[in-house]
Chain A
Amino acid sequence: MTDFEPVLLANIDRDDSHTRAAYEATGGYQGLKKVLGGMTPDDVKKLVKSSGLRGRGGAGFPTGLKWTFLPKDHPGPIYFCLNADESEPGTFNNRILMEEDPHQVIEGLIISCFATAATTAYFYMRYEYPLAWKRVQQAVDECYEAGYLGEDILGSGYSLDIFLHRGAAAYICGEETGLIESLEGKRAWPRIKPPFPAVEGVFREPTVVNNVETAACVKHIADRGAEWFKSIGVRPDPDNPRDAGSYGPKLYCLSGHIEKPGCYEAPLGITVNELIDQYGGGIWKGRKAKCAIPGGISMGLLTADEFDCSLDFAGPGKYGCLGLGTAAVVVVDETVLMVDFLHNSSQFFAHESCGQCTPCREGTSWALKMMNRIKAGKGRLKDLDLLLEIGDNLGIIPGTTICGLADGAAWPLKNAIRKFRDEFEAYVKETNPDGYMETNPVPVLEIIGAH
Chain B
Amino acid sequence: MTKERILTDGMIAEIKAFFPRYPSLQAVTLPALHVVHDHLRHVPMQAVVEIAELLELAPAEVQDTLTFYGFFKQDAPHGRVRAWVCRSISCHLRGADELLEHMCHKAGVEPGDTTEDGKLTLEFGECLGACEHAPCMLANDDLHKSVTHEQANQFIESLE
Contact = CB atoms under 8 A, between A and B. Distances in A.
Contacts of B47: none
Interface in B11-28: 21-24, 26-28
Contact of B131 (A91, A128, A171, A351): A91
A187 B93 contact: no
Contacts of B125: 128, 169, 451
Contacts of B134: 255-256, 261
Contacts of A128: 84, 125, 128-129, 138
Contact of B93 (A167, A336, A448): A336
Interface in B121-144: 123-134, 138, 140-143
Contact of A332 (B65, B93, B124, B132): B93
A450 B123 contact: yes
B149 interface: no
Given A130-B141, A170-B69, A90 B93 contact: no
Nearest to B113: A450
A90 B123 contact: no
Given A170-B68, A184-B26, A341 B89 contact: yes
Interface string A138-173: 000000000000000000000001010111111100
B36 to A, nearest CB: 12
B31 interface: yes
Interface residues of B, number: 49
Nearest to B25: A185
Contacts, number: 156
B130 to A, nearest CB: 6
A203 B89 contact: no
A347 interface: yes
Given A89-B90, A297-B89, A328 B131 contact: yes
Nearest to A341: B89
A265 interface: no
Select the residue from A130, A253, A297, A450 with max chain B CB neighbours within 10 A.
A450
A402 B89 CA distance: 25
B23 A256 contact: no
Select the residue from B68, B93, B123 with max chain A CB neighbours within 10 A.
B93
Interface in A297-343: 297, 328, 330, 332-333, 336, 340-341
A344 to B, nearest CB: 5
Contact of B111 (A330, A336, A345, A451): A451
B88 interface: yes
A169 B70 contact: yes
B69 A168 contact: yes
A89 B127 CA distance: 5
Interface string B87-114: 1111011100000000000000011110
Contact of A450 (B68, B93, B124, B138): B124
Given A166-B31, A184-B26, A86 B129 contact: yes
A297 B89 CA distance: 8
Contacts of A167: 30
A332 B89 CA distance: 10
Given A89-B88, A203-B23, A262 B126 contact: no
A347 B87 contact: yes
B147 interface: no
Nearest to A189: B68
A330 B138 contact: no
Contacts of A126: 129
Contact of A183 (B27, B34, B87): B27
Given A92-B129, A168-B30, A184 B92 contact: no
A444 interface: no
A170 B113 CA distance: 20
Contact of A293 (B28, B89, B94, B142): B89
A130 B140 CA distance: 9
5 contacts: A90-B131, A91-B129, A169-B126, A256-B89, A451-B84
Interface of A: 77, 86-92, 94-95, 126-131, 161, 163, 165-171, 182-188, 203, 253-257, 261-263, 293, 297, 328, 330, 332-333, 336, 340-341, 344-345, 347-348, 351-352, 354, 448-451
Going nearest first, the 5 A-B pairs with the smallest beta carbon separation are A450-B112, A185-B29, A187-B68, A255-B131, A168-B69
Interface of B: 21-24, 26-31, 33-34, 55, 64-65, 68-72, 84, 87-90, 92-94, 110-113, 123-134, 138, 140-143
